[in-house]
Amino acid sequence: MYDTILAGMAQAFSIECILLIASGVTIGIIFGAIPGLTASMALILCLPLTFTMTPINGVSLLCGLFIGGISGGLIPAILLKIPGTPGSVATLFDGYPMAMKGQAHKALGAGILFSFLGTLFGIAVLVFCAPMLAEFALRFTPFEYFAVTFFALTLIASLSSGSMLKGFISGLIGIAFGMIGMSPVGGIQRFTAGTVELQGGFEMVPFLVGLFAVSELFHNCAQGFIPLAMDNGKVVLRGFGISLKEFVGNLKTYGVSSTVGTIIGILPGIGVSTASIMGYLAAKKTSKHPEKFGTGIVDGIVASESANNACIGGALVPLLALGIPGDTVAAILLGALVMNNLQPGPLLFMTQGTLVYGIFTSLVIASFCMLVIELFLIRFFTRLIQTPKNILMPLVIVMCMVGAFGVNNRAFDVWSVLLFGGLGYALHVFKFPLQPAVLGFILGNIVEMNFYRALMASKGDYLPFITRPISAFFVIIGVLFIVYPLVRPLLFKLRKPRIQSES
Amino acid sequence: MFEKYRDAFGGGVILLVAVAMYGALPAAGETVMAGVDLSLAPRLVAMLLGGLSLILLLKGLYAAFTAHAGGTGKAVFNYPGKLVGTIAVTTLAAIAFDTLGFKLTAMLYLFAEGYILSYQKGEFKPLPMAAIALVTPFIIDYVFGAWLSMPLPEGLF
């Protein structure tokens, strides 16, 4: 046993392997930082390079790309209010307000540090609990998937700062846009008006880039650019930018969000963007000061970055333990393993123990590489937002258009960016929160797909949703999350006269 | 005026969208597969959206007529010219992206948007902006085409 572990570690610690991991992380960070380019694109582009490599070198390169790609998204999210990857969408909720307050370095430092720690959390779960958790995930049927994602969707109430009614409407607008195109089950066309381009529906990248980046440009044009607090150039860059007290104070947030992120990662088909938002919401729910979330606090960045990076380890659990890829990146990794005549699954741990422990070690090395490289680059990142806005913003929009075009190599996605920019600006003008729309767009389709699948499995019977324990638990909690904010004012009114009469 | 009727107007627009959404769906029972109506979810979303936007509309009207809608005093459009110009230029760039090609579109967009964003303060520096507008699209095009194997639209050039 120990010989196998040591042999695996020795393979991963070879100079060649470390250099490949470092290169992978660097390329991944670049892909993550450019809006529209994602970790999965980086993996697809570099996959052919791995054909001539040894299995451990090839998989290590891909692991580096994966970790760098997920983490790199935090840079534009914090500095430019653009989620570099869909997984960093929740990072901008607090990251950008912090950058606006002149705390870009602190936000980046916290993001990088907790990305690193989140990745380690996910890897630890992968190393110690992979087979057991994979078996648990297999018990999830469409009923459970529906219940979990429905519960996540009901958290719109938590994301609605200000008017709850506007929050729900914003969430439904997101769901409605997600429904355009083929239905997830049955392939029925919806709201396409006979247009070929709309049949495939809207992609997540143009939606997010338009909603945040283009709407921000429109908003700034209408209101005038607000000078950043750090524009005076007197910012001192030191360490991670956060104090030890802040670090210790955020350990609870880290634990909660990393756990949520890992669980979401283990469940196939949900994805890193959901993990990021769910981690953020879980941290907000368990925080002592939930009202401060979204105003620019470190906790929000810690929550999002811990969750999306912990999701990496989680996503590898079903892949390595069962041979089931949970998302696109895992599917590419599966392809790389199969091309090397390796079949992921329970037998992989017995027949290829050295390789498995080599992969685990590579993931840890990649995390450290990510920490060092991003920390080294932090100084350059923070200089980015000091670029004059009349130069920076047009460049950002051009990059957004290019990134959107790159999703499917079609101009329609560029037009979508503009459409969602208009939508985002309209929501802003009418004071609707944007975050529920994002949650609705991401989760709407997953909820709907599992709802239909479950109903088809039960032949139209709704009862299993509340007779299956896991499903019932999440459905009931979800309903309570919707109902409670609606009845809370009523309860408060009923309680108020009683308190007054008692006093 | 806008501040006063903001919610009513927003609710009204979304209500119209919800009605159109409901109307665009197939009739109940037309899309049944294995005993499950596959239009159930969009129908539910359209109904919920319609219901909630109607509440917003009524709340907004009530607040407007009882003068509860207190304005923040903050203007919504400080620079309407910049906004209209940016929307126009960005729309043109999105439309021309495929036909004119990436390089030419990006050049024109960068220069035009740079001008729109800085004309008021007299900050616009044509030469540096022109240099950025000329060089950047070539760099982006090269990186995406040669390194990332992701060619951008050639268009006219």
Contacts 24+ apart (CB under 8 A), A291-294: A293/A93, A293/A94, A294/A93, A294/A94, A294/A97, A294/A161, A294/A435
pLDDT at A298 over 60: yes
pLDDT at B17 over 90: yes
Are residues A169 and B6, on separate chains, in Cβ contact within 8 Å? no
Residue of A nearest to B111 (CA): A394
Reduced to 3 states, what is the DSSP secondary structure of residue A297? Answer: coil
The shortest C-alpha distance from B35 to chain A (Å) reads: 6
Mean pLDDT of A63-83: 88
Give the model's confidence band at A41: pLDDT under 50 very low, under 70 low, under 90 confident, else very high.
confident
**Which pLDDT score, from 0 to 100, does residue A230 have?**
46
Q: Which of A481, A468, A437 is nearest to A146 (CA)?
A: A468
Asked whether residue A214 is assigned to any structural domain, the reply reads: no
Asked whether residue A231 is assigned to any structural domain, the reply reads: no
Q: What are the φ and ψ backbone dihedral angles of A418, each rounded to 5 degrees? A: -65, -45
Asked whether residue A500 is assigned to any structural domain, the reply reads: no
pLDDT tens digits, residue range A283-294? 988 888 888 888
Q: Could you count the other beta carbons within 10 Å of the beta carbon of residue B99? A: 12
Question: From the candidates A185, A390, A396, which should be mutated to test the interface with B, based on the most B CB atoms within 10 A?
Answer: A390
- Rounded to a whole number of angstroms, the CA Rg of chain B reads 24
Give the model's confidence band at A416: pLDDT under 50 very low, under 70 low, under 90 confident, else very high.
very high
Residue A111 · residue A305 · CB < 8 Å: yes
**Which pLDDT score, from 0 to 100, does residue A162 have?**
64
pLDDT tens digits, residue range B83-117? 999 999 999 999 999 899 999 999 999 999 988 88
**Which pLDDT score, from 0 to 100, does residue B87 have?**
94
Interface confidence, given as ipTM, is 0.91
Per 3-state DSSP, chain A is made up of helix, strand and coil in percentages (nearest 5) of 80, 0, 20
**Which pLDDT score, from 0 to 100, does residue A36 have?**
67
Q: Among A41, A388, A415, select the one facing B94 at the smallest CB separation.
A: A415
**Which pLDDT score, from 0 to 100, does residue B66 have?**
83
Asked whether residue A211 is assigned to any structural domain, the reply reads: no
Reduced to 3 states, what is the DSSP secondary structure of residue A181? Answer: strand
Give the model's confidence band at A35: pLDDT under 50 very low, under 70 low, under 90 confident, else very high.
confident
Asked whether residue A325 is assigned to any structural domain, the reply reads: yes
Chain B residues close to A431, C-beta within 8 Å: 6
pLDDT tens digits, residue range A437-476? 988 898 888 889 989 999 998 888 889 999 999 899 989 9
**Which pLDDT score, from 0 to 100, does residue B120 have?**
63
**Which pLDDT score, from 0 to 100, does residue B67 have?**
67
The shortest C-alpha distance from A218 to chain B (Å) reads: 6
Q: Which of B39, A136, A340 is nearest to A348 (CA)?
A: A340
Asked whether residue A475 is assigned to any structural domain, the reply reads: no
Reduced to 3 states, what is the DSSP secondary structure of residue A224? Answer: coil
pLDDT tens digits, residue range B22-81? 999 888 778 888 778 888 899 999 999 999 999 999 999 988 888 655 555 566 677 888
**Which pLDDT score, from 0 to 100, does residue A379 have?**
78
A66 in reach of chain B (CB within 8 A): no
**Which range marks the domain in which residue A247 is found?**
2-138+241-398
Chain A residues close to B91, C-beta within 8 Å: 418
Asked whether residue A166 is assigned to any structural domain, the reply reads: no
Asked whether residue A43 is assigned to any structural domain, the reply reads: yes
- Cα B132–chain centre separation: 26
**Which pLDDT score, from 0 to 100, does residue A232 have?**
46
Q: Which residues pair with B32 in a beta bridge?
A: B37
Give the model's confidence band at A356: pLDDT under 50 very low, under 70 low, under 90 confident, else very high.
confident
Residue of A nearest to B33 (CA): A186
Indicate the average pLDDT of chain A.
85
pLDDT tens digits, residue range A121-137? 999 998 888 777 777 77
Please count the structural domains in chain A: 1
Mean pLDDT of A383-408: 83
What six digits make up the tokens of A205?
A: 């990248």
pLDDT at A316 over 60: yes
- What's the rounded Cα separation, in Å, for the pair A225 and A385? 12
Are residues B6 and A431, on separate chains, in Cβ contact within 8 Å? yes
Q: Among B83, B148, B152, select the one facing A222 at the smallest CB separation.
A: B83
The shortest C-alpha distance from A403 to chain B (Å) reads: 10
Q: What single-letter DSSP state applies at residue A294?
A: T
Are residues A45 and B149, on separate chains, in Cβ contact within 8 Å? yes
Residue of B nearest to A45 (CA): B148
pLDDT tens digits, residue range A193-223? 888 888 889 988 889 889 988 988 898 888 8
